[in-house]
Amino acid sequence: MRDWIPAFAGMTNALGPRSAGTANATMTPDFSRTHFELLGLPASFAVDASQLERRYRDLQSQVHPDRFAAASEAERRVAMQFATRANEAYRTLRDPVGRARYLLSLKGYDTGEESNTAMPPDFLMQQMEWREAAGEARAAGDTAALESLRAELADARAEMLGMLARALDGDRNYDAGCSLVRKLRFLEKLDEEIDDALELIHERG
């Protein structure tokens, strides 16, 4: 048994814009750029996916350690740090929920996905129904029911992402944005559980 516990279990990697993904006492390159700045994109929820991908690739073409394999140790280290940073920026911005969470953190809002579990009653009801349906389908080994539930979740997610775009880029209602991110995180978790259940059923043949 260990004599310590995770301090912030929910802090999977909620690194602030100024601390970057490589927070480390021994590595101190200038990482003052935000993920958006690093990739040369406007700081908005709406992102052109193909442009994001192109920018990321352009950046990696410049900084990736493969470009510096024959260079000095100092340069190899620096390349690793910059490439790490580029990967972190791309990973965060590519995922709409991650992008929203990050954008909110830039505005000084913490989405509080682990600490704040308060949800509006109607969403709580919906949650319980979905969970129940997932549990029953899993127990019955009913892959069709699981698949249709997954499709239902995908629809709900698409709708929420639309609301998120309006809240962040339109109304600038960041409290609403935080609440939507929390709901979306719940959907993601349930989707992962359904995936696990499908996998399990598949393995049992």
Give the interface with other proteins as residue ranges (CB under 8 A).
Answer: 1-9, 11-13, 15, 21-26, 28-30, 37-38, 40-42, 44, 57-75, 77-84, 87-88, 90-91, 195, 199, 202-203
The residue among 83 and 103 lying less far from other proteins, judged by its C-beta, is 83
Largest Cα span, the chain:
60
CB closer to other proteins out of 75 and 132:
75
Residue 33: CB minimum distance to other proteins, A:
8
Least distance to other proteins, CB of residue 196, Å: 10
In three-state secondary structure terms, 24 is: strand
Integer Cα distance of 9 and 23 in angstroms = 18
**With respect to other proteins, which residue has the nearer C-beta, 39 or 167?**
39
CB neighbours (10 Å) of residue 167?
23
CB of 88 to other proteins, least distance (A): 7
Give 57 or 107: the residue with its C-beta nearer to other proteins. 57
- Residue 7 or 118 having the CB closest to other proteins: 7
Residue that is written with structure tokens 């990739």 in the block = 39
User: Least distance (Å) from other proteins to the CB of residue 67?
Assistant: 4
State residue 86 phi and psi, 5-degree precision. Answer: -65, -40
Of 47 and 137, nearer to other proteins (C-beta) is 47
Q: How far is the CB of 18 from other proteins (least distance, A)?
A: 14
Nearest in space to 179 (alpha carbons), one of 64, 66, 97: 97
Cβ-in-10-Å burial (0-12, 13-18, 19+) of 42 comes to exposed
Which own/partner contact pairs does 12-19 have at CB distance under 8 Å and 24+ positions apart? 14/101, 14/105, 14/110, 15/88, 16/105, 17/102, 17/105, 17/106
**Least distance from other proteins to the Cβ atom of residue 120, Å:** 30
